[in-house]
Amino acid sequence: MTALAEGEGIAPTHTYALRRAQLETYFDRTAVEAWKRLTSDAPVSGIRATVRAGRDAMRNTLLGWLPADLTGKRVLDAGCGTGALAVEAARRGAHVVAIDVAANLVEIARERIGADVGSGHIDFRVGDMFDPALGRFDHVVGMDSLIHYRADDVVRVLSGLAARTDGSILFTFAPRTLFLMTFLTVGRVVPRGDRSPAIVPVAEQKLRRLIGAEPGFAGWSVGRTHRVAGGFYISQALEVVRA
Ligand SMILES: C[S@@+](CC[C@H](N)C(=O)[O-])C[C@H]1O[C@@H](n2cnc3c(N)ncnc32)[C@H](O)[C@@H]1O
């Protein structure tokens, strides 16, 4: 993993680093085959099919919030997984840095996509999305890559990225709904060896409050939001833009 540049930006917290390490283990080892299948066209169970459909809808929402023409724009796909969003952005002309802590997922993305995509380009990296050495961006997109972190850590990481972003930051969070809370509570009492690190639901109002109070987001404002909820997928997109 790329080391974080000393003394640059905001230091990640202990809780952030701990959760990142758990996610690396989970996505790089435990779940890599399941994730590879889910993100392919291969048949999946009914439950997973609803997740796949929800994820497709969410990706389209996020891509719809980026400019149609991304020629020459620098886009960070933060927690890129197997690279589905990165490839679409690159096809619109973006220079995408696609980074993920899970080396095996990045390898799958590399094999599936390659580096040259239409007029754009993808620079695949293994490491932390927060790494200041990645440079500046016009747009940052984090699809479902921050849903396992505490809300204060999410806002802290995003504000660190905001200092290096000129346009917008698009990310998703797990909305604190009755369905999701019940689902997660039931999930916790069902023993399962390969369980993913827990999702951390957050109320939209709390997220807005934290963003509003974060000095790193001075001069930014919250823009569009859109929730995708269907079957076993529930996630909400939020846009933060330079005012
Ligand atoms: C639910 S998956 C989503 C992947 C991809 N964005 C997509 O929608 O297909 C979350 C991804 O975020 C990655 N991730 C989590 N924390 C990260 C971090 N701090 N830096 C880079 N990647 C991270 C995980 O390894 C995992 O691949």
Per-residue pLDDT of the chain (243 residues; tens, 9 = 90+): 444 443 355 678 999 999 999 999 999 999 999 999 999 999 999 999 999 999 999 999 999 999 999 999 999 999 999 999 999 999 999 999 999 999 999 999 999 997 668 899 999 999 999 999 999 999 999 999 999 999 999 999 999 999 999 999 999 999 998 777 776 666 655 555 567 788 999 999 999 999 999 999 999 999 999 999 999 999 999 999 998
Place of tokens 């699809």: 143
pTM (two decimals):
0.93
Residue 116 has a pLDDT of: 67
Ligand 1 centre from 70 Cα, in Å? 23
Residue 97 has a pLDDT of: 98
Supply 220's token pair.
Answer: 């930014």
Residue 118 has a pLDDT of: 86
Check pocket membership of 129 for ligand 1, CB cut-off 6 A: yes
One-letter identity of residue 209? R
Cβ burial of 103 (10 Å; 0-12, 13-18, 19+) is: middle
Check pocket membership of 79 for ligand 1, CB cut-off 6 A: yes
Residue 90 has a pLDDT of: 96
Residue 197 has a pLDDT of: 86
Pocket test for ligand 1, best of 10, 27, 128 (most atoms within 8 A of CB): 27
Residue 194 has a pLDDT of: 61
CA 239/CA 140 separation, integer angstroms:
10
* Residue ID of nearest Cα to ligand 1 atom 10: 145
* DSSP letter, residue 147: T
The answer for residues whose C-beta is within 8 angstroms of residue 137's C-beta and 6 or more apart is 74, 75, 76, 97, 161, 164, 165, 166, 167
Q: Does residue 84 contact residue 59 with C-beta atoms inside 8 Å?
A: yes
Ligand 1 centre from 145 Cα, in Å? 4
